[in-house]
Amino acid sequence: MQKFILSLLTAGCLTAVSTVATAQENDSLSVSDVEFTPAEELRIEEGQVSDGIDSLLSLWYIKNTMDSKEMRSTVDSDALPVFYSDSIYEACLKQIPTTFPLVYNQKVKDWIEMYIRRGKYLMPMILGMSQYYFPMIEPVFDKYDIPLELKYLTIVESALNPRAVSRAGATGLWQFMYGTGKMYGLEINSLIDDRRDPAKETEAAAKFLKDLYNIYGDWALVIAAYNCGPGNVNKAIKRSGGKTNFWDIYKYLPMETRGYVPAFISVNYLMNFYKQHNYTPVQVQMPAYSDTVMVSQKLHLGQVSEMLGISMDLLRDLNPQYKKDIIPGQLKPEPLRLPADLAVKFADQEKEIYAYKDSIYFAPQHGTPEFRQTASSTAARSTTASTHRYTPEPCDASIPAGSTKLFYTVKQGDTFGFISNWYDVKITKLKCWNNIEGNRLNVGQKLTVYVPTKKLNTYKNINTMTFEQKQAQKSNAIVAQSSTTGKTLDKNFEYYTIKRGDNISTIAARYQGITDQDIMKINGFTAADVRRLQIGQVIKIRRKN
């Protein structure tokens, strides 16, 4: 059995802290017999909401977004919060297609209006992050026949922060405790914590929710048990005289669980009707297009960062499961998620990346303050022999014949990898042309780039395009190139067009009975082909019946 103890509200939403008690449950840990008035409960909850928002704003990718013009324009408005009458809230909840009973009462109203009062910063960021995480969650829930609206528990649990850790050690989007993670097959050791891997923890959460549903057959009780543990729910049912409706056992539950379900209902309301309250999603600075490569040797994220020109912060956001920035691929292949363009470059330079500064990054003192202070100078002067020592490619600033000079102005979120991909040039060339040695780019910085004159029309407008347009142009070019082979779609097959956020696993999860290997086999894909899949590309799924 798993017991969840709610200890704080994070980012305007409840965050569950879970404790596993398999053979024994200490119900006294979470059951509170202290009675609070509704006003006292609301005051406690609102104070915790405020603390949670401060916690959310301290995250790197949120602070990065806060610096953007879009975010400032979204939150700098002095417009007053928009509230509606009880009848409108209730009517709106009834319009939401759900198998979960979205009951409206005073407690739910208190939570809705608390979110609205505190939502100036919270809601735009949550809405933005949901565009990144929900497409990852929905296919998994569909596979396990879990109501899709339960994805909103990630807002209630962690405010969509995969690195969230509660005071009691609950971790990840779904806030699993150590024992629960192990129980559901998540790898947790000194280097890896799969609770921080959104995909793996979501799979475990779906299994756990399904197990709870097999016990109760009622999703409201499932959510309550997810929060405080089946032992506390069973005790509340017994104290109520055997009633099995959440609102009938409400007063017998721990105080924190009494607020948990109303908070979940309120999140459902706001995620469906945020426009009516003048909230607009911001494009949180998370990577929009990513892909996974498998790492088969020991690798440090610092090696990847330096070789591919991607920031460590972004790498950590993409791969939060690696607690010490080390991927122990020598033990078994481990996934590394990268922006889509850099996944291709990793495949092309894999051996060089493994060897790059390996004796430095895996020196015994790595990670100590002394190492961090002297790493760069040590790397420069180190003569410690490594049989696989990487020798940097000499800087070659020569300009190819038949080239035209263009200028590109660095935008928020740009990396050397993205820019080199858009212009079809090597990162080393781009750096040499601009006399840049490190990996740092500054917004507004002007870069020189040379492109083939005969293809000038392909590149001349890149500087004025949005990020999405640049990525789409690259994808369309690949699709157009494949179409020149003269191949036409075979009407005997079912096809899928790759969209933003897709990978081979999420695509397979959309189709019952189809696996990653099935898709690879029917398309004749190698592992390298899978790494190169692009938005807009059309792939076979299965033969039509």
Indicate which residues carry an active-site annotation: 157
Q: Find all residues with CB under 8 Å of 126, minimum gap 6, and list them.
A: 11, 12, 155, 159, 160, 271
How many whole angstroms separate alpha carbon 161 and alpha carbon 167?
Answer: 15
DSSP 8-state class, residue 51:
H
Report whether 123 contacts 13 (CB < 8 A): no
Phi, psi for 5 (deg, rounded to 5) = -115, 120
H runs (alpha helix) in 382-449: 416-423, 427-433
Report whether 109 contacts 270 (CB < 8 A): no
Return the closest-CA partner of residue 286 out of 442, 134, 113: 134
Phi, psi for 128 (deg, rounded to 5) = -65, -45
How many other CB atoms are found less than 10 A from the CB of residue 532? Answer: 15
Concatenated DSSP letters of 101-159:
-----HHHHHHHHHHHHHHHHHHHHHHHHHHHHHHHHHHHHHHTT--GGGGGHHHHHHT
**At residue 172, what is the residue type?**
G
Output b/e per residue, 496-505; b: 16+ Cβ within 10 A. Answer: bebebbbbbb
Concatenated DSSP letters of 435-461:
T--SS---TT-EEEEEEEGGGHHHHTT
How far, in Å, are 146, 357, 385, 440 from residue 392 at the CA level?
Answer: 50, 10, 16, 18
Output b/e per residue, 218-229; b: 16+ Cβ within 10 A. Answer: bbbbbbbbbbbb
Place of tokens 């879970």: 18
Tell me how far apart the terminal alpha carbons of the chain are, to the nearest angstrom: 44
Report whether 309 contacts 447 (CB < 8 A): no
